[in-house]
Amino acid sequence: MKFVQPSEIQQNPSIMDQLKHLRDKIDVIDSELLRLISSRAGLAREIGQLKNGIVYRPEREAQVLARLNLLNQGPLANEHIARIFTEIMSLCRSMEEPLSVAYLGPQGTFSEEAALKRFGSVVTALPCSSIDEVFRKAESGGAGYGVVPVENSTEGAVGRTLDLLLQTPLKVCGEIALPIHQFLLAHHADLSRIKKIYSHPQSFSQCHEWLNFNLPHLTGEARINAASNADAARLAAEDENAAAVAGKKAGEVYGLTVCAKNIEDDPNNTTRFLVIGAQEVGPSGKDKTSLVMSVRNQPGAIHELLAPLAKHGVSMSRLESRPSRAGLWEYVFFVDIEGHQEDSKVSQALREVTEKAAFVKVLGSYPTV
């Protein structure tokens, strides 16, 4: 296809007429979109008045996005449609009451990106200094919801989140799968001038081979752990001879240059986040249930504990062991199963599991991504 210069367009009446015709059609569509979005917002406000103060309904929003995915014929990808309608729903929610969402901060972390992906940008975002603080905010009512990392496809489970899920009265209300792309950020692109690198320990692990190959002189004490990737970017911004491994957003927040992008060793590197809150989530039609349990100290106890799942045709997607902290060599098991706890086969299986286990806590049922 031949590229047409702007000056050629202005000198060609035929092209100008075509452009005007197409732009006029876009203007008509934009006017109709505005009318339809305004009508949708009005209906959403009416629904909000009937919901008894519950602004966020994860199951309903999941159904909306799933339906749109089925209807979408392009050219926009499903992820782009989801982003557009997440923002529309975020705006509609804000007419009732802006949601407050706590996340592991500061501004520019992957946790913030996950929170905005799920809730949209029209929220009160509350950065926290630790995962513990996110839980405290949500438990105390200082935030309506919290967003916490629970596992990474490369590095595995986030132990502190699992420990706090065992203790908290909060429920898991949703999950977010966020592709993680790491960037090398600094004030300049001259790698020879970099004397130290800041990052979160997990990000160092996710980029271990890239760093060894491209910056072999920066090992040991030259790699400095930070509380978060965004904090690493902040520290690098204070030192001309420092760099950070962090997300692109963190570089934008702290005015750093991108020296290299997508430096993670695994191109499919993904972190799973959980939404935590006080509410129970109803069935959406495509759900997951998370629970934690412990077994009695007897031979074959784990096999016996999981047998009801197989008996009732309930698929298990995750099994993670964790020290219980209640006694030496005692463990609890975090389990994800397909389906909602109100589904007949799931409720029957959970009832039998509860009879066999020493301890069972259902963390929540929520729409799966």
- What is the domain-level CATH number for residue 18? 1.20.59.10
pLDDT score, position 10: 61
Of 92, 119, 143, the one marking the end of a domain is 92
Query: What does the block give as tokens for 188?
Result: 């300049």
Q: How far apart are the C-alpha atoms of 331 and 323, rounded to whole Å?
A: 4
265 assigned to some structural domain: no
Catalytic residues: 271, 273
Strand runs labelled E in 55-144: 100-104, 124-128
307 assigned to some structural domain: yes
Residues 18 and 60 reside in one and the same domain: yes
357 assigned to some structural domain: yes
Q: How far apart are the C-alpha atoms of 82 and 119, rounded to whole Å?
A: 11
Q: Which domain does 211 fall in, by range?
A: 183-260
To the nearest whole percent, how much of the chain has pLDDT over 90? Answer: 69
Structural domain total, the chain: 3
129 assigned to some structural domain: no
Residues 11 and 81 reside in one and the same domain: yes
* CATH number for position 317: 3.30.70.260
- Spatial contact of 286 and 315, defined as CB atoms under 8 Å apart: no
Residue found under tokens 């009416």: 46
pLDDT in tens, 61-112: 999 999 999 999 989 999 999 999 999 999 998 887 779 999 998 888 999 9
Strands 287-294 and 359-367, bridge-based pairing: antiparallel
Residues 324 and 249 reside in one and the same domain: no
Of 53, 71, 92, the one marking the end of a domain is 92
Residues 253 and 311 reside in one and the same domain: no
56 assigned to some structural domain: yes
Distance between alpha carbon 79 and the CA centroid of its chain, in Å?
Answer: 14
Show the low-confidence residues of the chain (pLDDT under 50): 1, 328
* CATH number for position 230: 3.40.190.10
Closest by alpha carbon to 260, among 268, 249, 269, 248? 248
Name the DSSP class of 269. Answer: -
Closest by alpha carbon to 178, among 246, 261, 272? 272
pLDDT in tens, 332-353: 899 999 999 999 999 999 999 9
List, in order, residues 6 or more apart from 204 with CB less than 8 Å away.
211, 223, 225, 245
pLDDT score, position 95: 85
Residues 286 and 357 reside in one and the same domain: yes
Closest by alpha carbon to 105, among 227, 254, 248, 257? 227
pTM recorded for the entire structure: 0.86
Residues 86 and 13 reside in one and the same domain: yes
C-alpha atoms less than 13 angstroms from C-alpha of 17 in its C-beta half-sphere? 3
Q: How far apart are the C-alpha atoms of 168 and 161, rounded to whole Å?
A: 10
The torsion region of residue 332 among left (phi > 0), alpha (psi -120 to 50) and beta comes to beta
59 assigned to some structural domain: yes
175 assigned to some structural domain: no
219 assigned to some structural domain: yes
Sheet containing 331-338, strands listed edge to edge, beginning at the edge strand earlier in sequence: 316-323, 331-338, 287-294, 359-367
Distance between alpha carbon 4 and the CA centroid of its chain, in Å?
Answer: 42
Of 52, 72, 92, the one marking the end of a domain is 92
Structural element, H or E, at residue 252: helix 248-253
Residue found under tokens 């050219």: 75
Residues 250 and 298 reside in one and the same domain: no
